[in-house]
Structure 1
Amino acid sequence: MVQDISLDVRSNNGDPLQVGAWRYQGDGSGPKVHLQAGVHADEIAGMLVLHLLMQRLQVAQAQGRLRSQVTVVPQANPLGIGQFRQGRLLGRFHDATGHNFNRGFDQSAAQQHPSTNVQEWQKALVQLAADADVMLDLHTDDEALPYLYVHRSFAAQGRELAAAMKMDVAIIWDDGGDGSFEETIIAPWLRKGLSDRNMAATLELRGQGDVGDQLAEQDAQGLYTWLCRCGAIDEALSPEDWPVQTLEMGQMETILAPTPGVLIFEKQLGDPVEEGQRFARILRRPGDPSSEVVLFAEQAGRMVTRYRDRLIGQGMVVAKFTGTRVSRHWHGGLLDPN
């Protein structure tokens, strides 16, 4: 039997909302697993991936091959999912408060009586995952290669997961400080001491527009294969060999827009660049050739993400690149401060 364990939360008006959550119960010999998608409500790809994965989990449970308790939250954020403005879903920040939905989970979880509906929702989600041994949080970037973030404690498992998911890059982090869901879940593990079952990662499933059957089937199969490898499912599956570039968070090179304007990329996702090579330009005032600003790569690497729209504001992230040395702009903390 699949257990419906949906969470009750509140909208901005105090009306009842539900976070759909389902639990598959195995024989208890495997690690407890928590999988979720859509904490940033406009990052849709993971919702379809988990929808497809749930069908595989149900078959494994029915056939007696499920070893773990697996909790799946395929659309974790009912607060953000309704924030449509002029035809676009704006689900990264809470409209009423400006709160980034994937920040401050630690503070919300610590409150005995959360003061806002966002904090109530965050605390409920943390409590749902609190007893998990394995936690995977599915996100997407603007436009991106598939990649993941993983704490240094789980770097080896993260590389295996990235290979199973056919991800190009695994980014290792040490200190966050932002109270993301991943950071909040692993904090007690790190305090108490890690077990060999523990693993957590944030998976970036390409870009926000990369939602479709083919990619979702591939990603669902990758997750299923990795769950078999970590002992959650009794099935002999091994991921294909896949080249994964592992690098430190500080080696990621983030390029910000020095001026607003029309953004023209001269390089595609995954393309290599040399230090000092031009990769894009911004036309500040169309009609005025002198207003064009050329953007250059800070160091050798390849383009992992890029801005989705082609009109960019000053200070926005134009693109992120892998690097071979620590970025001169790196001062610790987050890759994405907002």
Structure 2
Amino acid sequence: MSYQIYSHVLPSATPGTQRILKAHHFGEAGARPKVYFHAGLHADEWPGFLVLNTLIKLLKKADDAGLIQGEIIIVPVANPIGLAQNFHGYIPGRFAFSDGGGNFNRNWPQLGAKVEKRIKDDITDDSVENLLLIRKAIQNELILLPETTELQGMKKTLLALSMDADEVIDLHCSGEASMHAYVAQEFESHFKPLLALLGARVGLSEVETGASSFDETNVSVWRDLKGQYSNLIPWGSRSLTVELRGENDISNEFAQQDADALFSYLVLRGVVGGDLPVIDDSQVEYFPLDAMDLVKAPCAGIVCYHKAIGEEVEVGELIGEVVNLMDDDVDTSRYPLIARTNGVFFARVQRRLVVCGESIAKIAGKEHLAFRESGHLFED
């Protein structure tokens, strides 16, 4: 048996308080392939908690049977700081209240330039040796990251657990949505089997979002170095963000279904022994992130949708309307939501009271939209 649990204590934010990150480890340390999972980095997104709890059960059985061949690290609750934002039963959990605030999944430390400075004189023609060299340099840079504050400590710990993994799978969810994922353009074919196993029809293909999110940070070093050294540098890490449907899509049935899919993926990648899954990825389709229409609320009010999640829409089509409760004339108080692209209506906010100008729905399209600015593809 190789299963172990490690608790990582974060710096104390205030006297008498202490938070921990609990990491579940399977396999021998240093075994390959290594895959890292976590859930709840946005602490208001909870489906991944139950999915990873269920996956751990499956992996414990596999471990007892001697089937763990690589290394697996699972942090089922990645953001105890955000979970502590409990206001009379409401947990906002998406933005930090300290360290200048900001989205918990934005502006993670970027190590590319520092790593390149460490390794530039030692790069050889041997890509395997280069991979080991870079991983060592990343480790050395991670040690130097500050951990004075609770948030710094959390980010440093999660990166230390994940940045030497061959694959990083970050579990999130949307307000209301079909299963989908954000995948770096370079990894579309690699992760297509995972999307198929999860039943995701929509993959949002990224190049560079400008968000410095957790999953992007894990691959940014390799992307930066490959830009300079080309084929001398292999992909030492591949990552993606999986959106596990909507906030309320939480059940034992969904958790078992999704955990089974993740387990099958680990078998496919040789991390766990077993019969290879049969995969039909014909329903998986990638859509460029800069072609995704963010539907804006034209006014404040109550939103009513005419289209269901997963439906195809056409440019110019009415997908819903917002009722302005402050208009004098109730007969003309409904303002249309119009699709600006042909594609799939795959996500929307859960609450029905919306704020003027906010993005309340997403349509995955194929054609670049002029108002979508590369490098600023996420708004929050």
Contact 1:222 1:239 in 2 (8 A): no
Corresponding residue number in structure 2 for 1:204:
243
Moved more, 161-170 or 326-335: 326-335
Contact 1:158 1:170 in 2 (8 A): no
Structure 2: distance between partners of 1:294 and 1:322: 19
Matched, 1:321 2:363: yes
Question: Which structure 1 residue ranges, 4+ long, deviate > 4 Å from structure 2?
Answer: 26-29, 107-111
Q: Deviations over 1:139-185 (max 9, x none)?
A: 00111111011112211112111011111111111112222111111
TM-score, scaled relative to structure 1: 0.94
Contact 2:6 2:23 in 1 (8 A): yes
Moved more, 105-114 or 149-158: 105-114
Moved more, 305-314 or 282-291: 282-291
Contact 2:163 2:237 in 1 (8 A): no
Alignment of 1:45-84 (within 5 A): 45-84=47-86
Indicate the SS of the match to 1:83.
Answer: coil
Structure 2: distance between partners of 1:233 and 1:167: 23
Structure 1: distance between partners of 2:155 and 2:31: 29
Corresponding residue number in structure 2 for 1:113:
146
Corresponding residue number in structure 2 for 1:257:
297
Whichever of the two has the greater Rg, that structure is 2
Q: Shift of the alpha carbon at 1:197?
A: 6.8
Indicate the SS of the match to 1:179.
Answer: coil
Matched, 1:179 2:222: no
Tell me, which stretches of 5 or more residues in structure 2 are unaligned?
112-141, 227-232
Residues 62/192 of structure 1: CA separation in 2 closer, same or farther (3 Å cut): farther
Q: Shift of the alpha carbon at 1:113?
A: 2.6
Corresponding residue number in structure 1 for 2:165:
132
Contact 1:105 1:123 in 2 (8 A): no
Residues 115/30 of structure 1: CA separation in 2 closer, same or farther (3 Å cut): closer
Indicate the SS of the match to 1:156.
Answer: helix
Corresponding residue number in structure 2 for 1:269:
309
Residues 110/2 of structure 1: CA separation in 2 closer, same or farther (3 Å cut): closer
Corresponding residue number in structure 2 for 1:241:
280
Number of paired residues?
338
Alignment RMSD (CA, Å): 2.1
Amino acid at match of 2:302: V
Indicate the SS of the match to 2:365.
Answer: coil
Q: Shift of the alpha carbon at 1:248?
A: 1.1
Percent same amino acid at aligned positions? 30
Contact 2:218 2:237 in 1 (8 A): no
Matched, 1:164 2:197: yes
Indicate the SS of the match to 1:100.
Answer: coil
Structure 2: distance between partners of 1:223 and 1:275: 35
Match of 1:283 among 312, 323, 326: 323
Tell me, which stretches of 5 or more residues in structure 1 are unaligned?
none
Structure 2: distance between partners of 1:112 and 1:249: 31
TM-score, scaled relative to structure 2: 0.84
Q: Shift of the alpha carbon at 1:121?
A: 1.2
Match of 1:95 among 84, 94, 97: 97
Moved more, 24-33 or 116-125: 24-33
Corresponding residue number in structure 1 for 2:253:
214
Structure 2: distance between partners of 1:39 and 1:99: 13
Q: Shift of the alpha carbon at 1:298?
A: 0.8
Corresponding residue number in structure 1 for 2:175:
142
Residues 221/334 of structure 1: CA separation in 2 closer, same or farther (3 Å cut): farther
Structure 2: distance between partners of 1:175 and 1:298: 23
Indicate the SS of the match to 2:109.
Answer: helix
Residues 308/111 of structure 1: CA separation in 2 closer, same or farther (3 Å cut): farther
Structure 1: distance between partners of 2:37 and 2:253: 20
